[in-house]
Amino acid sequence: MSENATPKPLLEVKDLAITFSTPDGPVHAVRDANFTVMPGETVAIVGESGSGKSTSALAAIGLLAGNGRVSAGQILFDGEDIANASEKRFVELRGNHIGMVPQDPMSNLNPVWKIGFQVKETLKANGLAGDNPKKRVAQVLADAGLPNPEARANQYPHEFSGGMRQRALIAIGLACRPRLLIADEPTSALDVTVQQQILDHLDTMTSELGTAVLLITHDLGLAAERAEKVVVMYKGRVVEYGPALEILRNPKHPYTQRLINSAPSLSAARGDKHEAIVEETSPAKAEPLLSVSNLTKVFDIRKGFGKKEKFTAVDNVSFEIPKGTTTAVVGESGSGKSTIAQMVLNLLDSTSGEITFDGQQIGNLSEKQLFKYRRRVQPIFQDPYGSLDPMYSIYRTIEEPLRIHGIGNSASRQKKVKELLDQVSMPAATMHRFPNELSGGQRQRIAIARALALQPEMIVCDEAVSALDVLVQAQVLELLDELQRDMGLTYLFITHDLAVVRQIADNVCVMERGKIVEQGSVDDIFDAPKSDYTRNLLAAIPGATLI
Amino acid sequence: MLSFTLKRIAQLIPVFIGATLLVYFLVFATPGDPIAALSGGKPMTPATEAALRAQYNLDQPFWIQYGLYLKNLVTFDLGMSFSGQPVADLLGRAFPVTARLAILALLIEGVFGIIFGVIAGMRKGKFFDSTILVASLIVIAVPTFVLGFVLQFVIGVKLEWAKPTVSGAGTWSELILPAMVLGLVSLAYVIRLTRTSVIENKSADYVRTATAKGLSRNRVVRVHVLRNSLIPVVTFLGADLGSLMGGAIVTEGIFNVPGVGNLLYRAILKGETPTVVAVVGVLVIVFVIANLIVDMLYALLDPRIRYA
């Protein structure tokens, strides 16, 4: 870049408009989008789902869904307008000029072909396989940070962890040394520490190769940390565009301001916390509502030929949750946090140890007692798409627990459902609709209303906000907070996201491989973490060092 | 994989005994006297009748009859038909004809079904797709005997492209027309199954990623859509092989094919227990083996499936 006084932009998006034709008429997904990517530069597009950020990037590689098309404007790649280029031209460009790292590592590798095959065909299609394709494949995989690449190339995707798959996808995206890499939420499906490793690696590789990166993310903190320029998109329009740190520190558009205020990663760094809870609950040396002591869960893993192996998912875990407070259990995937939630909900038997709820051991409840227990402890699960029955209307979903527990008659139940919907700020008319007609955030509100129906004393939130966009996440967290204040609810909050913990929890247990490595009040954990593991987790929160 | 295969083959024994016992009992319990049927209702001396009953063990109680049958089976003696021919010979003549017919039918439905299904799936909503959907619906809706007679009349009698009926030998070329009729209904199902599967897979994330790698459209379809789409189709074809081998009584009847279906039909009418049970026994084995092959193809197509 330095030789040239005014370097030519690599990608220039000018007045871009993208339209999808649907049975209900055209949908304008992107309007008047303008931004530029210089050679070797990283530009992040930030926005919530449906903001048009992925659509804009996919148009640059000719991968719009079948009913979408560029309806106006230009996409200049190295001076050539490719907005409506032929399929043939795109086949030439893809791979060696424009590469892509997709979002979800679980679904983006073909499950029936070996990793090596999938890398090799990329090289072959772009004429870069060379005389010894096997060696090239191993090299490419090694460059992406996969240990033992020769053996790994011979494995299938299902034999890889999520992080390893994402490395394989990065290897594929960069295999043909493209000049532009489109990275579509490349790490949002991964744990924070893995995310950090992978993004670091991606940074190193792209700067070595001089590759420009178009990074698509919903996380402003991550964007600011990784990119030189940030494009903020909202409802199909670019609302703010400029140098990353400037936007983060001095956001001009109200949407960007909201985004920054509700980004958990950023507020965690600022130490924001809802004062109300702190005041109400910190002096309370209340009775523990739930106490877990020496809880252990061992699974048998089948190894083929009748061999079994023991796997300790939860290892001698003890903690207490005082009434009316929130305790967060934090850890990476596989740390055993969800297993604890399942045992507390009595959906899974423990191998040893005790769970006591309100003075009563729940391990040996009779069927009748268990039924009563279920009424007092309710879950909210991660995936609002999977946890609501698509065949049940919202009314039926919320009413079902009332009916099962024989509460009220049909008129009083209807009234109750209306009240519950009101509590979670949903209009009463919602009850005649079905889950597929609602957004993710709305569905999670319904799941909360369903959990509240039986007036439980404790709610177990298993990654209850992880699937939601930041703004929606902030709203749902606020709702949970309000409900706690109004009804004195107790929360067991399972999450992988330390940033969210700071917003909601009073006490924290940090888990690693089945063991609690550290526990204490939220301020202790954040301000004076004792274990290295906690320190690593905190450091991996993107954008943490920027404010 | 080996232990899985052996386990499945060992399962054959109880399945075989269960199926033959059931069929033996059903034929035993069917009203009507096989000896009367044998004599064609003509009067018979009690001595002759008793001799015949003894010859076919019909004078024994059910359990003894079945036990004797199993005992003979171990020595590969399938018994005699009422016309005095060894059942093994009858099966030996009918089975190859049906096998040829089934293989031809399977080829027709597999090859054309997958090709048409993939094209229709890739061009969802276009002219070819709509035409194929309507055509397959018609084929599914029209009964086999109508389809059979129409094709026999048009292709066999009017156009004289193929012989309208099959000789005793049942050669490959004679069997093409009946195989078409036999495979046509399954062909329609294979097309629809492949089409749905292709439509589902072509919008998968890994297909988009494959395109993003710079692969040609042709290669994306061949390597990434096709193999993944074939898994449900293979299951259907395997199960269908079993029922095709069972002999299509209707189709074999129309074209006068001397196959298993014909043999079974005549034996049931006559109450000829040894023949019925032998045919069913062989079919049970064919079914179990066809399913085993499907399971193995499954593992071959999808590496996530591993048998232990």
Q: What is the pLDDT of residue A179?
A: 92
Residues 6+ apart with CB under 8 A from A353: A292, A293, A294, A295, A296, A316, A317, A318
* pLDDT over 60 at A5, yes or no: no
Q: What is the pLDDT of residue A269?
A: 52
Query: In 3-state terms, what secondary structure has residue A230?
Result: strand
Residue whose entry in the numeric block shows the structure tokens 């052996």 = B6
Which residues of A lie closer than 8 Å to B, measured between beta carbons?
Answer: 61, 63, 65, 87, 91-96, 99-100, 102, 104, 107-114, 118, 121-122, 125-126, 156, 158, 169, 172-173, 176, 302, 304-305
Show the 3-state SS of A22-67. ECCEEEEEEEEEEEEECCCCEEEEECCCCCCHHHHHHHCCCCCCCC
State phi, psi for B178 to the nearest 5 degrees. Answer: -60, -35
Sign, Cα dihedral of B69, B74, B76, B77: negative
Q: Is residue A233 within 8 Å of A33, Cβ to Cβ? A: yes
- Among residues B112, B104, B189, B181, which one has the least CA distance to residue B146? B181
Question: CA B94 → CA A370, B18, B285, distances in Å?
Answer: 64, 24, 16
- Structure tokens belonging to residue B287: 């079914």
Q: How many residue pairs from chains A and B have C-beta atoms closer than 8 A?
A: 87
Residues of B in contact with A172 (CB under 8 A): 209, 213
Q: Pairing between strand A229-234 and A212-217?
A: unpaired
Question: CA B252 → CA A100, A363, A480, B164, B258, distances in Å?
Answer: 57, 65, 70, 12, 7
Mean pLDDT of chain A: 85
Q: What is the pLDDT of residue B9?
A: 79
Q: Is residue A377 within 8 Å of A344, Cβ to Cβ? A: yes
CB atoms within 10 A of CB A338: 21
Q: Is B2 on the interface with A (CB under 8 A)?
A: no
Q: What is the pLDDT of residues B44-89, one digit of tens each?
A: 788 887 887 777 777 778 888 888 877 877 777 777 777 778 888 8
* pLDDT more than 90, % of chain B: 19
Task: Work out the average pLDDT over A512-538.
Answer: 88
Interface test with B, best of A110, A140, A156, A160 (most B CBs within 10 A): A110
Q: What is the pLDDT of residues B92-112, one digit of tens each?
A: 888 888 888 999 999 999 999
**ipTM value greater than 0.85:** no
* pLDDT more than 70, % of chain A: 92
User: Out of 3.20.20.20, 3.40.50.300, 3.20.20.60, 3.30.930.10, which CATH number does the structure's domain A11-97+178-262 have?
Assistant: 3.40.50.300
Quote the CA–CA distance of B204 and B223 in Å, as a whole number. Answer: 13
Query: In 3-state terms, what secondary structure has residue A97?
Result: coil
Question: CA A178 → CA A45, A65, A102, A201, A405, distances in Å?
Answer: 19, 23, 15, 16, 61
Backbone Cα Rg of chain A: 25
Supply angle C-alpha A361, A362, A365, rounded to 5.
105
Residue A137 identity (one-letter amino acid): V
A260 pLDDT tier (thresholds 50, 70, 90): confident
Task: Work out the average pLDDT over A245-251.
Answer: 87
Q: What is the pLDDT of residues B268-293, one digit of tens each?
A: 887 777 788 888 888 888 887 888 88
Query: In 3-state terms, what secondary structure has residue A464?
Result: coil
Q: What is the pLDDT of residues A388-440, one digit of tens each?
A: 888 899 999 999 999 999 888 889 999 999 999 988 888 888 888 888 888 77
Edge-first strand listing for the sheet containing A25-37: A25-37, A11-22, A68-77, A80-81
- Start-to-end CA distance of chain A, whole Å, equals 30
Query: In 3-state terms, what secondary structure has residue B300?
Result: helix
- Binary contact (A63, B208; C-beta < 8 A): yes
Interface test with B, best of A90, A100, A101, A112 (most B CBs within 10 A): A112
Q: What is the pLDDT of residue A279?
A: 42
Q: What is the pLDDT of residue B27?
A: 76
Q: What is the pLDDT of residue B140?
A: 86
* pLDDT over 80 at A301, yes or no: no
What are the beta bridge partners of residue A297?
A314
Residue B165's Cα: distance from chain center in Å?
20
Q: Which residue of B has its CA nearest to A306?
A: B308
Residue A7 identity (one-letter amino acid): P
Q: Which fold has domain A272-539?
A: Rossmann fold (3.40.50)
- Among residues A401, A543, A113, A520, which one has the least CA distance to residue B222? A113
Residue A75 identity (one-letter amino acid): I
Q: What is the DSSP letter of A513?
A: T
Q: Which fold has domain B88-198+232-303?
A: MetI-like fold (1.10.3720)
Of residues B173 and B212, which shows the higher confidence score? B212
- Among residues A104, A94, A112, which one has the least CA distance to residue A185? A104
* pLDDT over 80 at A66, yes or no: no
Of residues B9 and A80, which shows the higher confidence score? A80
Q: Is B208 on the interface with A (CB under 8 A)?
A: yes
A265 pLDDT tier (thresholds 50, 70, 90): low
Query: In 3-state terms, what secondary structure has residue B210?
Result: helix
Residues of A in contact with B223 (CB under 8 A): 113, 121
Q: Which of A379-383, A450-454, B244-248 has the lowest mean pLDDT?
A: B244-248
Distance from CA of B306 to the nearest CA of A (A): 9
Task: Work out the average pLDDT over A312-325.
Answer: 91
- Structure tokens belonging to residue A414: 């209807």
Distance from CA of A208 to the nearest CA of B (A): 21
Query: In 3-state terms, what secondary structure has residue A467?
Result: coil
Question: CA A420 → CA A251, A415, A425, A438, A489, distances in Å?
Answer: 37, 9, 9, 17, 15
CB atoms within 10 A of CB A388: 22
Q: What is the pLDDT of residue A120?
A: 94
Quote the CA–CA distance of A290 and A474 in Å, as a whole number. Answer: 27
Q: Do domains A11-97+178-262 and A272-539 have the same CATH topology?
A: yes
Q: Which of A126-135, A264-273, B188-197, B200-209 has the lowest mean pLDDT?
A: A264-273
* pLDDT over 50 at A321, yes or no: yes
Quote the CA–CA distance of B266 and A159 in Å, as a whole number. Answer: 55
Q: What is the pLDDT of residues A123-142, one digit of tens each?
A: 999 988 888 999 999 999 98
Distance from CA of B208 to the nearest CA of A (A): 7
Distance from CA of A528 to the nearest CA of B (A): 43
Residues of B in contact with A102 (CB under 8 A): 205, 208-209, 212
Q: Pairing between strand A80-81 and A68-77?
A: antiparallel
- Among residues B74, B60, B76, which one has the least CA distance to residue B28? B60
CB-nearest partner of B206 from A63, A109, A156:
A109
Quote the CA–CA distance of A540 and A543 in Å, as a whole number. Answer: 9
* pLDDT more than 90, % of chain A: 36
The domain ranges of chain A are 11-97+178-262, 109-177, 272-539
Quote the CA–CA distance of B298 and B292 in Å, as a whole number. Answer: 10
- Structure tokens belonging to residue A81: 């307008």
The pTM assigned to this predicted structure is: 0.75
CB-nearest partner of B212 from A94, A158, A305:
A94
Q: Is residue A125 within 8 Å of A175, Cβ to Cβ? A: no
- Start-to-end CA distance of chain B, whole Å, equals 6
* pLDDT over 70 at B203, yes or no: yes
- Structure tokens belonging to residue A352: 């040893």
Cα dihedral A143, A147, A148, A153, rounded to 10, equals -60
Q: Is residue A509 within 8 Å of A520, Cβ to Cβ? A: no
Residues of B in contact with A109 (CB under 8 A): 206, 209
- Binary contact (B228, A172; C-beta < 8 A): no
Residues 6+ apart with CB under 8 A from A49: A218, A440, A469
Helix/strand/coil percentages in chain A, nearest 5: 40, 25, 35
